[in-house]
Homo-oligomer: A and B are copies of this chain.
Amino acid sequence: MAIAAVSITPIGTGTTSVSTYVAAAERALREEPGLRVELTAMFTLLEGDLDTIFRAIRRAQEAVVEAGAQRVSTVIKIDDRRDRHATMEQKVTRVESLLKEG
C-alpha cells in the first residue's frame, strides 16, 4: 500500500479554467477499484496498492486527453512505505498530535 498525490493539467486549452478536465481525471480515478481518492485544492490524493495507483493515474491522464486536451502535464508524488502501512488519516493525525504537544 502506498499514498500518492497527482495533478493532471491540460496545456493550451485557451481558457484558464481547467475544472472540466480535472473532473474528467477525477471520475477516472474514482472508478478504479481498491483505490481511495481524496480531492484537494492542488492534488488528488490516492491510497492503495502501488500498481493500482499507477494504473489509475495512467487512465486519468487518458481521460483528460479524451476530454479534449492536446497536451497534458502530470505531476505525481508517491510515498511508498515498506516498513509499515500508514493511512492518509494516520499521517495527518500523527503530525497534528505533535503540533498539539508543542
Q: What is A's interface to B at a CB cutoff of 8 Å?
A: 3-5, 7, 9, 11-20, 22-23, 26-27, 30, 38-43, 45, 47, 50-51, 54, 57-58, 61, 65, 69-83, 88-89, 91-92, 94-96, 98-99
Whether A41 lies near B51 (C-beta < 8 A) is: no
- Please report the C-alpha to C-alpha distance between residue A77 and residue B71 in the assembled complex, in whole angstroms: 13
Most buried by B among A30, A78, A82: A78
Whether A95 lies near B26 (C-beta < 8 A) is: yes
Whether B78 lies near A61 (C-beta < 8 A) is: yes
Whether A45 lies near B41 (C-beta < 8 A) is: yes
- Please report the C-alpha to C-alpha distance between residue A12 and residue B57 in the assembled complex, in whole angstroms: 22
Q: Which residues of B sit under 8 angstroms from A57, Cβ to Cβ?
A: 54
From the candidates B27, B74, B78, B92, name the one contacting A78 in the complex (CB within 8 A).
B74
